[in-house]
Structure 1
C-alpha cells in the first residue's frame, strides 16, 4: 500500500509499506534484512532508497540505505549498521522482527558500475559494492576489479567470506585497531592505492565515512587520477 508523507520542507513523498521477510545479525553491529519488493520499484546495483519506520511519529524520519539485492531478485535486501548508543531509527530497526513492516520511498544514488577499477570502502560503506559485485559475479565479469576494505577490527568486516571467495588476492583488508596475520594495519594510504594501480584507465569507486573519503580523494589527486574516473556519491 502506498501512502503519502511530508518530510520537513520537502514535497510529499510516496512511501510503500513492505513486510520484513527475514532479519538477522551480519556482524556485531550490522543487521541483514530482507523485505518484500514493491512491484514498481526500479534501481541499478549500487543505488539506495529512503526507508522509514512504519510507526506513529516516525514516518518522516527517512534514512538512506543501499539496496544490496539485485534488481532481478524478488525481494529487497539491506545491510544496516546499528547505532545502539543513539535512540534513533537504526536502533529501532534492530528491534524489528519477521512480518513487521517498513516504509520504502524513492530510489537514488550516483554509485554505479562504469568499468574495471579499484573499489575503496570504509565500514558500512561497503553496501553499494556488495550489490555491484553480486551483479558482476552473476555475469561472470568480476575480472580484475579490486576491493580495498577498511575497518576497525576483523569483527567489523561485512560479507568477508563472499569477497574472499570471488576476489581472492584482489580483496585487501585494512584494520585500524587490530593487528592480524593476513590483514594490513593502519589506514588506506597513498602507497596502498598506488600499489593497486596495475593498469591505466581504471575507475576508483569510493564509499565510506566522510573523513576517510576526504583523505582518499586527496590521495587520488596526488596520484593524478582524473575526477571523471572517480565514482562517489554526490550530495
Structure 2
C-alpha cells in the first residue's frame, strides 16, 4: 500500500441520525488544505482494499484528523461498516486530493453531506477571524439531517440560510434551490460561489448561477 497510513480511531460518535464523526490519529507530516479529501478504508480482512473518499473536517493544525461520514445502513458497503467502527479500531488513510479550496469571500451552497468540505474551510476562517463576508445556503430534507447546525450558526450567524425540501417549519424555507430561489437570495452574481452536494445538484446549481451572470471561473466545485 503505497503512501498508506494505518491509524487508530480515537473517537467515533453520531452527530445526526445517520452521520458519524470519526476522529483518527494524524500521521506525522500528513498535510491537507481545508476542503480537501482522502480515501479511507477499514483495516479489517475483506475491507482493506475497499476505499471511499471522505473530506477532512478538522482544523489543519489539529493533532487528529476528523471525517463526517454519512452512514447508508441499507447498503452492505463501506459506510455501513464505518457505522460500526469504534475507538480503538483502525482505518487506512491514503493520498490527499480535492479541487475545493478557499479563494476568497463568497456564497457557499451545500446539499446534505456536501457541507463537509465547507466545514473545514469555515472552521479555519472562524479561527483566524476571517469568516465575515461569507454566506452559507444549506439544503437538507429535514432539520434532523443538518450536520453541525449549531456550530455553523455560531460561526456564521445571519449568514447561515437553512433550506428544507420536505418540511415546513415556521421561520424556515421549505423549497428547492432553483433559479428563482437564487434570484431571491443572492444580490451579487459577480462574487465567488462554492458548490458541493450530489452530482445533479452541483450541475443544476452551477448552470443556474452561470445563467444568472456568474463567471465559470468564480464557481468552485469538486469535479
Q: How does the TM-score come out when normalised to structure 2? A: 0.97
Residue number among 100, 111, 120 corresponding to 1:122 in the alignment: 111
1:177-230 Cα offsets, whole Å, 9 max, x none, are 111022111111223323443446410000001111121012112101111100
Residue number among 186, 192, 195 corresponding to 2:181 in the alignment: 192
Whole-angstrom distance in 2 between the partners of 1:203 and 1:133: 15
1:87 aligns with 2:76: yes
1:108-166 Cα offsets, whole Å, 9 max, x none, are 00100001100000000000000000010011011120000000000000011011112
* Distance apart, 1:60 and its partner CA: 1.4
Residue number among 155, 159, 172 corresponding to 1:170 in the alignment: 159
Give 1:7-18 correspondences, 5 Å limit.
Answer: 13-18=2-7
Residue number among 150, 153, 168 corresponding to 1:179 in the alignment: 168
Gaps of 5+ in 2: none
Gaps of 5+ in 1: 5-12
Whole-angstrom distance in 2 between the partners of 1:190 and 1:75: 40
RMSD value, Cα = 1.1
Whole-angstrom distance in 2 between the partners of 1:171 and 1:86: 32
Give 1:98-113 correspondences, 5 Å limit.
Answer: 98-113=87-102
- Cα contact 2:189–2:209 (8 A) shared by 1: no
Aligned to 2:133, what secondary structure does the other structure show?
Answer: coil
Whole-angstrom distance in 2 between the partners of 1:170 and 1:177: 22
Whole-angstrom distance in 1 between the partners of 2:29 and 2:61: 13
- Cα contact 2:189–2:213 (8 A) shared by 1: no
- Cα contact 1:32–1:78 (8 A) shared by 2: yes
Q: How does the TM-score come out when normalised to structure 1? A: 0.92
1:22 aligns with 2:11: yes
Residue number among 29, 37, 61 corresponding to 2:26 in the alignment: 37
- Cα contact 1:120–1:206 (8 A) shared by 2: yes
Whole-angstrom distance in 2 between the partners of 1:193 and 1:166: 23
Aligned to 1:22, what secondary structure does the other structure show?
Answer: strand
Look up the match of 1:7.
none
Residue number among 161, 169, 177 corresponding to 2:150 in the alignment: 161
